[in-house]
Amino acid sequence: MSSDRSNPLPPPAPTSPPVQSCTPTLPGFTCGLDATLRVIAGKWKPLILYFLAQGGPTRYGELRRAVRDVSDKMLIQQLKELEADGLVKRTDYKEVPPRVDYSLTPLGHSLGEALVPLCSWGTEHMAEVSRVFAEREAWTRRGRQPTV
Amino acid sequence: MSSDRSNPLPPPAPTSPPVQSCTPTLPGFTCGLDATLRVIAGKWKPLILYFLAQGGPTRYGELRRAVRDVSDKMLIQQLKELEADGLVKRTDYKEVPPRVDYSLTPLGHSLGEALVPLCSWGTEHMAEVSRVFAEREAWTRRGRQPTV
DNA sequence: ACAAGTATGCACCTTTTGGTAAGTACCCAA
DNA sequence: TTGGGTACTTACCAAAAGGTGCATACTTGT
């Protein structure tokens, strides 16, 4: 309760050594990460990219089954956007039972590689992540009360 | 036709060499990437993490100004979630003009590092990305019917 | 003939997300 | 006294994202 606030000089953070600089802003992007995020925005895009980066060209149906829980509408939509953005290439064999497959362009492939560390992170910390999510769900489910 | 209709054997993809394996599924995650994505889902989270990873502990206001275009509500909300998920640490100095700063936990810091390649990718390909986005906007703008 | 599979398109609707604007409690400078 | 700054909170609302389900056009298997 005593008012001895005279700039306590916060300790200069022993944790969190700086990571790397980020060339800031070309068009309307805050930084490179910002640019990337806009491209991979969408619930399924990173998964699609990563999946394609692993398995090479894949038929629509295979992708559909691989990316669990995705609906046709969503998968098609995201693939279209990825295609428009020059990350995936669509090949339509014009066959009679439709046959189409998707593969990564070089650009897409490089993005796929940039996703690898994220995947590794998730794999390494999956235990923590899933614990955290369990709590989050409990919290969401129970808490409909005014802020406790 | 009746005998070997099983596999037309499409050409085995000269492009896209496989990238890496992804330890699949522990709790309800498709793969590590899936797990990661759930943690960093949210328009501003990756930016926040990355920003904190670069500059160390940061006061709320600084963050606010650094992450362009974010509103108070959003920034606070995402910070809260990141905190709940054990990625950032909030320090409230309990001072009279409020003073609070945010820093990364070790977990958060490791994630921040995993974001580096994405940032680099964006930086490297920013030209392509911005071109693509220009087209996307034109496309969006023109195709708009009076939905108002 | 009929169901199933293939790769999509489309309409409709709900959920989630995010933005705006206002308010709180307190201080300092003009 | 007014205005600005700090770090939030809350209510309300618009927009985006995403899901369901039906339709297509054609083939193959039963």
* Residue with the two structure tokens 């820093």: B103
DSSP class of residue A145 equals S
* ipTM confidence score: 0.79
User: What are the tens digits of pLDDT across the range A105-114?
Assistant: 999 999 999 9
CA closest to B117 among chain A residues: A114
pTM over cut 0.95: no
Quick one: how far is CA B114 from the chain centroid?
Answer: 10
CA/C1' separation A133–C1 (Å)? 51
Beta bridge partners of A59: A101
Phi-psi region of B80 (alpha: psi -120 to 50; beta: other; left: phi over 0): alpha
Kindly state the percentage of chain A with pLDDT values over 90: 55
Chain B span 87-106 residues with beta carbon within 7 Å of strand C: 96-98
Burial class (CB in 10 A: 0-12, 13-18, 19+), A7: exposed
CA distance B148 to chain A (A): 24
Cα–Cα distance measured from residue A133 to residue A67, given in angstroms and rounded to the nearest whole number = 20
Q: Which of residues 60-119 of B touch A (CB under 8 A)?
A: 67-68, 84-86, 91, 93, 95-96, 101, 103-107, 109-119
Q: Which of residues 37-66 of A touch B (CB under 8 A)?
A: 37-39, 46-47, 50, 52-57, 59
- Mean pLDDT value across chain B: 78
All domains of chain A in start order, with CATH: 32-142 (1.10.10.10)
The answer to whether B22 contacts A114, with C-beta atoms less than 8 Å apart, is no
B139: three-class secondary structure by DSSP: helix
User: What are the tens digits of pLDDT across the range B117-143?
Assistant: 999 999 999 999 998 888 776 665 555
Say if CB A101 and CB B10 are below 8 A apart.
yes
Cα–Cα distance measured from residue B138 to residue B134, given in angstroms and rounded to the nearest whole number = 6
Q: Which bases of chain D are under 7 A from a protein CB atom?
A: 5-11, 17-22, 25-29
